[in-house]
Structure 1
């Protein structure tokens, strides 16, 4: 037997209210008295009423849904960012559609099509390592759909961005190693397409200069974040006539893999080679030796980005194009250095 679908009419009859009053109560309209609104919401929940979001969106021209696109879910970094964003969105009554690009430009483009098909009210994006063309994201601008970049941002688009001070974080990490007496500090940097790679490399260079240690380009290796390649790069560094006595990695997954390679080579961390990462991934405190790293306020990045997006959607900000939120990092010293 087919189950009866509860409608606004059913709730209106049960409470002896008009359909328009029930409809306004369900959508939070300020003209409805608080006691009436509570009565409608309580009965709707009791009767298992399901709102017709398509019908509501046709009336309000909003779906109360935001999209989130991140490059990967293999570490705890982006999942925690997403949790932070969802906390803010949910509190404001918004649902989320979440996609991950798997560090692929083509998949990222496909992700944006999913967002458009779902008629999201706005979108949060952290770019894949392959993304160099932004036409698929500029579509949102042309359609008037708000967009906010976080962590991995696009300088070619004049939209709000939420980042951390990557330069300062890298500077602190390398200064820490230098102050511990390390002089040959290698750097496994990220893809040149990512701005975070450039900023962390510049922080690395600045720390060397401050401590009067010459920059050696042979100690810097850009790589595409595929940790399967770390063994090759670390083996190369260790085979140099003057091998490094420390390695600063672009992120924690890279740093953790570096430690594993060094240990397999029969060397000790940090006695022979110190290692520092970036991001304070969940696993960084669990490995042995535990990883010294630059912690980022990951959930706060997500929360800040989501709030900026909602402010645009609700027109609470006028000069939103120029907004760039830069959050601070913190060096967490553990056993690896």
Structure 2
């Protein structure tokens, strides 16, 4: 006879599995009456949590660890808000760490969270993370792990991403249709999947628009505003400027914008500019920044929901899945159609 599961309990009581789970953990959002019904039904059916649930109760806390490259980046702070909302609904709290875009700090954060017996771990890797032994170690210890935005493809975990290739491709096609011909790409650091896919979308967009990829206009850097300023300086040192630039994200695009303005380069008259993220700041500069909108809040909600699926899975039944969220190109003044 099959063991009675949390889903069976939920079905019998007419509530969700997460409500049963929270009731059994005495979560304050669950009424006393519901807790009593759940407890009585569990006793009646001799229900016992599966091994994963037992390990969460006995050896781990009701805290979910979250590691992001930077909290100050609006994209990641919005992801965190989405994570917190769903985590709270399921009776969990979150503990957030930032790697500050360094592998060393990411490793330390990972070890600290696992040592504190977090129930599971959510992570967007740093720009330096080309070695992922520390994350493989998390999986070996049986700690549930979900990656989001910046991920390691080789790790067999849940993943939540956007179609970076398609988004970058669409941005380049937009620029080409607006009349721009020398389109550059201010990229992130090499070795990160996200960067490679955006570059491939950029490259193929140029090809399909009948435009050349000029190596001097493809510059690698980081993810911060100061990296955008440095990239702008690199463009200013060339014998000619590109007439449009696709930046790896909005902070980098804003850095390019401010440095070009200081140098007397007009946007979009001299150089059009497109960012990536859809942060609120993109709409505040003048002209407003064209950007690829990423659903950050939904990314956070989805990532923690995948983690909850892993918590609730029966032993041996969990299969990691990759969720690809839609993006939208928000066309604004920084990439206005070229005249003449």
**TM-score (normalised: structure 2):** 0.81
**Quick one: structure 1 residues 134 and 268, their matched pair in 2 at CA, closer, same or farther if it must change by over 3 Å?**
same
- Does the 8 Å contact 1:165/1:327 carry over to 2? yes
Cα distance in 1 between the residues matched to 2:23 and 2:311: 22
Aligned match for 1:100, one of 92, 98, 101? 98
1:330 and 2:325 are equivalent in the alignment: no
Cα distance in 2 between the residues matched to 1:121 and 1:58: 6
**Quick one: structure 1 residues 216 and 82, their matched pair in 2 at CA, closer, same or farther if it must change by over 3 Å?**
same
**Quick one: structure 1 residues 73 and 33, their matched pair in 2 at CA, closer, same or farther if it must change by over 3 Å?**
closer
Unmatched tracts of structure 1, length 5 or more? 1-23, 40-55
Match of 2:290 in 1: 292
Counterparts of residues 279-318 of structure 1 (less than 5 Å): 279-315=277-313
Aligned match for 1:87, one of 85, 88, 108? 85
Q: Could you give the per-residue CA deviations for residues 35-62 of structure 1, whole angstroms, max 9, x where no partner exists? A: 38489xxxxxxxxxxxxxxxx9896444
The structure number with the bigger radius of gyration is 1
By how many angstroms is 1:288 displaced?
Answer: 1.6
By how many angstroms is 1:133 displaced?
Answer: 1.6
- Does the 8 Å contact 1:163/1:326 carry over to 2? yes
By how many angstroms is 1:235 displaced?
Answer: 3.0
**Quick one: structure 1 residues 264 and 63, their matched pair in 2 at CA, closer, same or farther if it must change by over 3 Å?**
same
**Quick one: structure 1 residues 116 and 326, their matched pair in 2 at CA, closer, same or farther if it must change by over 3 Å?**
same
The alignment partner of 1:336 has SS state of helix
**Quick one: structure 1 residues 314 and 235, their matched pair in 2 at CA, closer, same or farther if it must change by over 3 Å?**
same
Match of 1:65 in 2: 63
Cα distance in 2 between the residues matched to 1:33 and 1:180: 58
Match of 2:158 in 1: 160
- Does the 8 Å contact 1:158/1:321 carry over to 2? no
The alignment partner of 1:137 has SS state of helix
**Quick one: structure 1 residues 317 and 293, their matched pair in 2 at CA, closer, same or farther if it must change by over 3 Å?**
farther
By how many angstroms is 1:228 displaced?
Answer: 2.6
- Does the 8 Å contact 1:126/1:150 carry over to 2? yes
Match of 2:220 in 1: 222
- Does the 8 Å contact 1:160/1:320 carry over to 2? no
Mean CA deviation greater in 97-106 or 225-234: 225-234
By how many angstroms is 1:289 displaced?
Answer: 1.5
Match of 2:47 in 1: none
The alignment partner of 1:96 has SS state of strand
By how many angstroms is 1:114 displaced?
Answer: 1.7
**TM-score (normalised: structure 1):** 0.81
Unmatched tracts of structure 2, length 5 or more? 1-21, 38-53, 336-340
Mean CA deviation greater in 215-224 or 290-299: 215-224
Match of 2:180 in 1: 182
Q: How many residues align?
A: 296
